[in-house]
Amino acid sequence: MWFAMLDTNSLTLWTECNRTHLSNNKHGAALWLVDRLRDHRWRVPVGDPRAEVVVVPALIDWFNRKECGARGWEQHLQNLMGVVLASGKDTQAKPHVLIAQDYRS
């Protein structure tokens, strides 16, 4: 299955999160997964029509564990939606995958 992945550096739920605290936690698998998806052979650029899904590497588990700075949920959500909307109509129409495995998320 071909997939696209939004740029981690455009998401405040990535750039403003302390990515060192949950790496050894059972809820820290998102970092491992995003790292492996970055160079995966089935990844295509955002906007590529072959993509069947779009991975959104937002660290929701980190936010729920208070590891994402001083912004509130609404501000992070505005950023996330802005990035998705900027990805183009074809990308917006695809199913989006968020990684959240913490019961708090």
Q: Give residue-wise pLDDT tens across range 32-89.
A: 899 999 999 999 999 999 999 999 999 998 998 899 999 999 999 999 999 999 999 9
Give the per-residue pLDDT at 27.
66
One-letter amino acid of 93: A
Q: Residues 1-29: what's their mean pLDDT?
A: 87
pTM of the model: 0.89
Give the per-residue pLDDT at 101.
80
Phi and psi angles of residue 23, each rounded to the nearest 5 degrees, phi first:
-60, -30
Give the per-residue pLDDT at 102.
76
Give the per-residue pLDDT at 104.
72
Nearest to 47 by CA among 14, 90, 105: 90
Phi-psi region of 100 (alpha: psi -120 to 50; beta: other; left: phi over 0): beta
Q: Is 81 helix (H, G, I), strand (E, B) or coil?
A: helix
d(CA 45, CA 7): 10
* DSSP category for residue 10: G
